[in-house]
Structure 1
Amino acid sequence: MLIDLLSNRSDYVNDVSNMIYKEFVVNTGSKMTFEEVCIYFSNTNSERFPITLIAIEENECTGTISIFENDLKERELYKPWLASLYTKPEHRGKGVGQKLITETLKVIKKLGYKELYLRTENASDYYRDRGWSFVETITDDKGQKIDVFKFDLNNKKIIN
């Protein structure tokens, strides 16, 4: 499995956009169009946010993850954020997500950050089991409860 920056692999922009649109736009009731999602992912970067990484196996994009400056407007003081981790269902349970997270932590460290945050509505145990520290539970502007986690790069080893 190869993990690479989407900015190096523009031929996978449509695949990533499709995954993210179905999982994080349609499922959340966002008004974003598929075309807007494609434009967004066509403009990801390698050394400034937003940054998107992809997992490729046998020329197929099997998963994706992004890094945003902020992913929760109620907590603008926390920066940067792991966002939009997604693995295709047929590739789950094979370590794709963990490899994407590991590479994301390496990118963050290379950029000089000491910590990375994330938000989750339903995967707290997944992150807790992988060394992330619970920060707080908040209720967003839509009334949804969100757990916020942090990975401290100073005090924790990046798990490969």
Structure 2
Amino acid sequence: MDIDFLSNHPDKINEVSEMIFKEFVVKTGSGLKYEDVVKHFSNTKDNALPITLVALENGVCLGTVSIFENDLKIRDMYKPWLASLYTKPEYRGRGVGQHLVTKTVDVVKELGFNELYLRTEDETEYYRNRGWTYLETVSDDKYEKIDVLKIKCI
């Protein structure tokens, strides 16, 4: 399995866009259009935010993760954020997500950040069991319970 920047694999932009649109846009009712998601992923970079990584095996995309400057408007003092971690169902249980997270931490460190944040509505224990520190629980106009966690990038 290889973890690489989506910007190095433009042929995977539509596939990543479709995964994220179905999992994070449609399910949350955010109102973004599919075309907006494609445009976003068409503009990710490898040395400045936003960054998107893909897990690849023999040319097949197994999953993806992004690094955003902010993923929770009510907590704009925290940056950057791990966002949109997704592994295709048929590849779950193989460590794809953990490989994506590990590479994300490495990239964030290379960019000069000491910490990385994430938000989750229902996977707090998954991250805590992998070294993330719980910071707080907040709510916004969509969710009553959002846990915010961080990890040191050292």
TM-score, length of structure 1 as denominator length: 0.94
SS at structure 2 position matched to 1:44: coil
Q: 1:142: Cα distance to partner?
A: 2.0
Query: Where does residue 9 of structure 1 map in the other structure?
Result: 9
Query: Where does residue 114 of structure 1 map in the other structure?
Result: 114
SS at structure 1 position matched to 2:62: strand
Q: 1:30: Cα distance to partner?
A: 1.3
Structure 2 residue runs without a partner (length 5+): none
Q: 1:141: Cα distance to partner?
A: 1.8
Query: Where does residue 20 of structure 1 map in the other structure?
Result: 20
Query: Where does residue 70 of structure 1 map in the other structure?
Result: 70
Q: Which amino acid aligns with 2:144?
A: Q
The CA distance in 1 between the partners of 2:70 and 2:142, in whole Å, is 17
Per-residue CA distance 1:8-40 (angstroms, 9 max, x = gap): 111100010000000000000111111110011
TM-score, length of structure 2 as denominator length: 0.98
Q: Is the 8 A contact 2:3 2:54 kept in 1?
A: yes
Q: Is the 8 A contact 2:106 2:153 kept in 1?
A: no
Q: Which amino acid aligns with 1:66?
A: S
The CA distance in 2 between the partners of 1:57 and 1:34, in whole Å, is 26
The CA distance in 2 between the partners of 1:80 and 1:73, in whole Å, is 12
Q: Which amino acid aligns with 2:37?
A: V
Percent identity between the two aligned chains: 60
Q: Which amino acid aligns with 1:150?
A: K
Q: What is the number of residues matched between the two proteins?
A: 154
SS at structure 2 position matched to 1:49: coil
Q: Which amino acid aligns with 1:29?
A: G
Q: Which amino acid aligns with 1:149?
A: L
Query: Where does residue 80 of structure 2 map in the other structure?
Result: 80
CA RMSD in angstroms, aligned pairs only: 0.7
The CA distance in 1 between the partners of 2:4 and 2:35, in whole Å, is 23
Deviates more, 1:78-87 or 1:140-149: 140-149
The CA distance in 1 between the partners of 2:54 and 2:39, in whole Å, is 17
Structure 1 residue runs without a partner (length 5+): 155-160
Q: Which amino acid aligns with 1:28?
A: T
The CA distance in 2 between the partners of 1:58 and 1:46, in whole Å, is 21
Q: 1:85: Cα distance to partner?
A: 0.1
Query: Where does residue 105 of structure 2 map in the other structure?
Result: 105
Q: Which amino acid aligns with 2:22?
A: K
Per-residue CA distance 1:35-88 (angstroms, 9 max, x = gap): 110011000011111000000112111100000000000000000000000000
The CA distance in 1 between the partners of 2:132 and 2:30, in whole Å, is 28
